[in-house]
Structure formats: structure tokens, C-alpha cells
Structure 1
Amino acid sequence: MAHSSSENDTDISESEISEYKDKTYQELKSGSQKVKNLDETFTCPYCPKRRKRDDYSYKELLQHASGVGRSSSKKRKARDKANHLALVKYLEKDLVSVDIPAEVSKPEDESGTSVNSDEQFVWPWIGIVVNIPTRLTGDGHSVGESGTGLRDEYKSRGFNPVRVTPLWNFRGHSGIALVEFNKDWSGLDNALAFEREYELDHHGKKDWFANSEQKSGLYAWVARADDHGMKNIYGEHLQKMCDVKTISQLMEEEARRQDKLVSTLTNVIQVKNQHIKEIEVKCHETTHKMDLAMMEKDKLIQAYNAEIKKIQSSATDHLKKIFTDHEKLKLQLKSQKNELELRKVELEKREAHNESERKKLTKEIMENAMKNSSLQMATLEQKKADENVMKLAEDQKRQKEQLHAKIIQLQKQLDKKQELELEIQQLKGSLNVLKHMDDYEDAEVLKKVDTLQKDLRDKEQSLQDLDELNQALIIKERESNDELQEARQALVDGIKELSSHGNICLKRMGELDTRPFLEAMKKRYNEEEAEERTADMCSLWEELLRNPDWHPFKVIMVEGKEKEIIRDDDEKLNELKNDLGEGAYKAVVQALLEINEHNPSGRYLTSVVWNYKEKRRATLKEGVHFLLNQWIVRKRKRGMT
């Protein structure tokens, strides 16, 4: 189907060349455009009638179409380039077997016969262009068209020259230029096609040297031995630049080079093959050794795992036995304590009804008090046993907790206070017993009452002293904590002013790490859209982190202490994990844990001094050392300036 005039009037853009080329190629395949003539020649269906030729060979038409299609000239329309590129594709894919020379070393002359292999050409292949228009300048010198313009023109016509060199003499541009082609056989084909086109246009070498009317236009031909020997400007340049060789000589030289290259490559291949064999042997040996090592490693790991399981099982059984014995002792002590309480009540009832046995009852009460004291001591011993059991469990889990010195001191004072309270209660009980006795006016009884009252006052005074000491210690601890917090805040402010990037830096606890969110979004969207969606998603989660109504924690007992951990059944976290993956889930969990540890009530970000090297909160000592070192460095810099 022929292109309409409306299509020819409107050109296409450079971006539409590929699409238009495919459309034109389908038209060529369908046979709507005539390319091959009946006499085995070819024609270009896309050239204007004034330049159209119907006697192209396959090679010439391919060069012509390729030159026009790949032309960088702005004068060429994009539609012409697309049509000629489609023609190149059609020639290479659908007419590839037509008119292809058997050997590139047999170029054809204008009659279609092979070039004589003994004919002498100038090598490298050189084309001579004469009668280039020149003009005189004001100083009497001649100037003409540059070599770059001619080279671009010849490239657009499919001759693919390497360069075009205008020849100059003392008068300026001589009107002659030398066209250099590639040194290979394709360069010779291009040179002969270049010569043939000028001969067909009657602007070849014979036409130039013929005694006829005045010459007009460019004349060109391929340089041969007679041109090399000319005593003119291009002959002198050819003698300086080139040699004269026949096709046979060039073929022999190429054959020698190929034989030498093949021999060299053969030797290299043999050496490489030998080297590969040696490497394969070493690789097999190494693989065998690695297999043996892996088998040995698996055996060691299996043995180690079996031993670990055995140790863990033994430790678990031992721990269970200790806890079982501990529970039995607690039950026995509790039973004895209940029994003594019941007996105490019974004795108090019998005291009111049996005056004759008052002394005996008093004695039993005292014994009961002593037993109660012994029972209290046994309870304390049991507490110590509990602590030993907990220490044993902690040792088994390899988790040791260090108690604060002041807390231990307060606990000891509290224990003393409890002992004093117990003794005071016992003394009060004894006084009550004595007051209920009928003969309380007896001198001995009165003496005991006075003694007990005096001991009671002493114990109460001691208890009051302990309370005051306890309150003083608590106030001192609060003051120390306040001073410590003020020092830490001053340390944070100092490091914030330094803008440090070393091991000791500030870390915003509870700040959300956005990198896992960005990595997850990049797998779904392009980079720009991924960054926007990451910013939106992180803003939503940061707002949720600061919401005190959202508390995805649960409390568990760890080694006898309460500990808050993340709930596994929280819908928001599980939805995040399923949607964006493990990385984003861990980032939110980390921020939650940090907020819950450092500011659970306010749920806002706090800055702490952080040791990035050891991945923990820096101590006050480390922060002070860091500030001191920074101060020393800055002081030295000021001294140097």
C-alpha cells in the first residue's frame, strides 16, 4: 500500500521513528512496495523520483538504506529515516539470501564482474575527489567546503568514510580532497560503491580526464597505482601516506596474519585448558576436604546438642525437685503456725476460766511466745532459703541481678523495723496477760510489769529512731536521684551543643526507624512514590506510638518480678507485620519498648546519652569523660589558631 500525500506532507517526531519503522516493515513484508526487479536488481521505493535508481545491487541498496536511516543530518526527515530503517530490516531478514557475494574479497567493478586480483590499488583505500567549488577571499586565498561536511554527506549516502582531507597549497584550497575508507574489505566495497556511483553519473576518472566541455560538479574515483605515481598535489600526498598493493598481496598478508593469530590462540587455549584441568583437580580435592570437614562438623554439632539437652534436662529436674521441697516446707510451716495460733486462742480462753492453772498458763504463754519467735526466725530462714532458691534459678538461667546498695540498706532497716514491731507486740501481749492476773499487785509481778513496760518504751523508741533513719535515707535517695537526673540532663544538653558523631552520641528513645518502611515500599513502587508513601506511613505510626490509649503490652512474671512484653495478638502490629514484613514490625516494637522504658506516662520522645559501640545507654562517667575530651580537643584547636 503506497503512502498517501497527506502522510508525506506531515512528518513524524524522532520518538515515533521506531513505531513507524515497524509499520513500514509490515507493509514491505506484505509485498505492497516493490523492492526487487525482474532482472535481479533492486530499487528504493522511498527515494524521490528525481534521485530514484532501479539498478541497485543488494549490497548497494543495503548501504544506501543504512546510510539514510542512520543519517545525523537535520535535513533528513524522520519519516524518511524510519522508511529506510524498515527497508534495512526487510533486506537483512527477508531478502538476506539475495545477491550476497560469496567472499568479501571479490568486489565488483561497474560492469558487474569481479575486480582483478592483480590490479594495483592504493592502500589504505583512498578516494580522490576533484573539482570542489572554491572561492577567493579578500587576501587572494582560495577557500572551499570542509572535509567534515563531505564526510557527513558520504556517510548519509552509505559510503562510511573514515575521514575526508582537503588538500591545500600555497594558494589555499586546491579543490581536491582525499577520502579515506576503512582498511578492511568492507572499506574496499564502500570505496568501489563510491567510485561506481560517480561513474554512473558520468563523473568518474575517465570523464574527468576526457577532453570535453567545461566540467561541472564533483568528480571522484578510487586511487590506483597510476594515481600514486602522479606528479601533482594528490600524487605527492598519496606517496607520503600510502603504498601500492594488489588484492592478492593483501589476501596473502591477511591469510598470514590469520594463521599466526590462529596459532597463537591455539597455544593460548591449550595453556588455558591445562590450567583449567589443574584448577578442576584442586577444586575436587578442596570439595572432598570440605565434605569431610562438614561431616565432622555435623557430628560435633549433634554431639554438642545431645549433651546440651542432657544438661538442660538434668538442670530442669533438679530445679523442679528444689521447688517441690520448698513448697512442702512452706506448707509445713504454715500448718505449724496455724496450730500455734489455735493453741494461743485456746490458752487465752482457758486463762479466764482456770485461775488455778494461771502460772502454768503463763509459763505456756511464754513458751508459746518463744515458739512464735522461733517460728518467726524459721520464717526468716525460709525467706533466706527462698532467696537461695531464686539465686540458684538465676544461676541456672545465667541472669544475675544486682541490687542497689541503698535499696538493700532500706530493706535491712525495714526488716529491723518489722522485728521491733513484732517484739513490741509480744511485750504488749505479755503486759495484757499480766494485767489480767488477779495478783498483779504482787511485788514480783509489778516488777515484771515495770520491766516489760520499760522494754516496751525502749523498743518503741528504737522503732521511732529506725523510722526517722528510714525517712532520712529515702529523702537522701530522692535527692541523689534528682541530682543524678539533673546531671544527666546537663550532660544531654552539653552533647547536644557539640553535635558529636562518635561512639557517644544522643539517641532519641522511641524514635521510629524509617529504613525498613522505605525498603518495603521500594519493592512495590518506584523510588519517588516509595518515599512519599513511606513518609505517610511513618507519620501514621508515629502518631499511634504517642497515643497513650494504645497499650499493646502484657505483664508476665520473670524470676519473681513483673515484666511488660509486647502482646502477640495485637491486631495493629500483626497487620503491619503481614503487610510490610518483619523489618517494619521490629522497628515499631523497638520504638514501643523504648518509650515504655523511658517515658511510659507521657509517650513522647526523650533524648539519652547512648554508647553506640556497645549498643547501650552510656553511664554518667562515660559521658563526662567524653565531654572532657571534647573540651580538651577544642581548647587545643583554639590554641593552634
Structure 2
Amino acid sequence: MDSSSGEESDLSESEINEYKEKPYEEIRSGKYKVKALNGSLRCPFCAGKKKQDYKYKDLLQHASGVGKGSANRSAKQRANHLALAKYLEIDLASEADETSRPTVPQVVDQTPEQTELYVWPWMGIIMNIVAESKNIDTLHDKGYWLKRFAKYKPINFQCFWNEVDLTGQAIVVFNSDWNGFVNATQFEKAFESERHSKKHWNGQQTQLDSNIYGWCARADDYQSDGPIGDYLRKVGKLQTISGIVQEAAQDRNSVVANLTTKIDLTNENLDELQYKYNETTMSLSRMLEEKDRLHLAFIEETRKMQRLARDNVRRILEEQEKLNHELETKKRKIDNWTRELNKRETLTERERQKLDEDKK
């Protein structure tokens, strides 16, 4: 019996939809409280449960799940929860709007670094690689450069050589994540600390030395002529830090939305499976009851047949005993008659002999 209704009799399956109108009106009238003063939602028909601080979606799922049927729920409990689901969908629909309303991000001022255009994936540029006959093979080896800048964790190195004057320029490729950006900026700062940055390179164009210069690839490098610009345009694109952050946030929101959709579909599938499980459980229960009934009927019929068989055997034995007794009685009578007959024959023979003697 459902403790929330106070009625002693339970409902049949056909009365559930009709009965749910009564608790629905009682919820609307305030007899059962769904929304607390602090705004939290609760199930008034599961007062003994520990969890009484539901979100709108969770409470609606709870009410619908119980209302659709459970093997351990009475029909009255299901009707009460169907009434709660109806109340949530009609009278508290605004709660669903509030929970589904996306949070509006606050607009913050962007720093110049956030609006500066970088080449992404993150890349560094090395200029003024001067080769000599004794080290030309080493400088042509990509592994040498990857090892030299290993502290910045590059993932690739592309060198472009001028075979006439044995000078080269190169691109260092870093990971496309934020760790890659940190490594790229540290790579640039290392050259700045040695006064071999892009600024110093541009100032030394007329008086070149043998030192290499390096910096992070930006928009002017991307749009430049020559092999460096061609390579950057081929494998990268221009992005601001704020743009990358926004794109990552959009991707994350898209993933969250997709996961939310999948979770909703999974919950719907679970509800459907729960409903089918309940149907199967009820069908199995009926089958087990029918099996028990047939088993009891079989046992009763077997006992009846055994009882009849015993009665028949006892009757046959009694009849056989009676026949044996009658046969024995008749046998004794015949024996007596035989003895009597023999006696009479003997007497008759004596009398005949006596008569024969008298005739002589």
C-alpha cells in the first residue's frame, strides 16, 4: 500500500491513468510540496529517501521512470509518480527552461598578446644558419637540431638551404596544444636573452655575423615571400590566442552537447529497457505462477492416481483372498464328499457280497 495516499486498497492497472488526476490536483493545491523554499525540488511520494534535492531533469526522469512501471512498485505509487511527472511538465516547465539556459560568458578585455596573430600549430623560425665544410653534414642532419633544442620539445624540424653560399633557414614545429605554445615562447625568449631575436635580426641585416636568430612565427612571417612563408602557409594558419581559446571552448561545448544528447538517448533507452524488463518480469512471474499451479495440479493428480492404484491393488488382493478362501472351502467339501462316497461304496460292496452269500 502506498503510504502517501492513506488508502488501504491498491489500484488495478486499468485505474492508474484515471487515478493520477487526484494526486495531480493535490500537488497543485499545495497538499504535496515539490519545490522547497530554497528552490530545490523533491519527490513528495518518496519522503523516506535520502536524496531530496533533485535537479528538474533528474526529478522528471525519476517520476517518469517509476510511473512507467516497476516490478517492486504498486500501481498506486506509479499513479502518484505519473501525477508528479505531469505537474513537472505542465506547472513547473519554467524550471526546465532555467536549467537548460546556457551561461552567458562575460566579456573581458583582451591583451595585445591575445589578439596577436600567431602561426598555428605553433612554430619557431631560425635564421642565419651558416655552414662550413667541417660541419655541413651535421647541420644538414634534422636529428642534430631536434637534439639541440630538445629542452623545448620540438616535434619536427624543416631546413631550407642555399647551396650557393651554404646558408640556411629553418622552421621548428612544436605541439599544437598549450604546452607547445609555452615551449615556443620559451624558445623565443631564449633568443631574446641572447639578443638574437627577430628584432635583432632585422637590425643586423647589414652587418651579419655567424650567430643564429630565432623567434615564434607570426603573421608577417606567414605572409612573407620565400620558402619560410610558403611552408607556413602550407602547413599552418593564422590564429589569435583568444581565437584558439574560443575555438577550444566551442569544441568543448560541442563535445558536451553531443555527450548530453548521447546521455539523454541512453537514458531513454534505459527507460525503454526498464519498461521491457518490467514487462518481461511480470510475464515471467505469471509463467512461474502458472508453472507452480500446473506442478501442484500434477502432484495432486499423481497422488490421486497412486491412491486409486493402491485401492485397486487392495481390492484385487481382497477378492483374490476371498476366492482362495471359497476355493479352499469347496475343496474341503469335495474331500468330505469323496470320503463319504468311498465309505458308501465300501458298504455297498459288503452288502452286495452278503446278498450273494444269502442267495447261495
Q: Which has the higher contact order (CA 8 A, sep 6+)?
A: 2
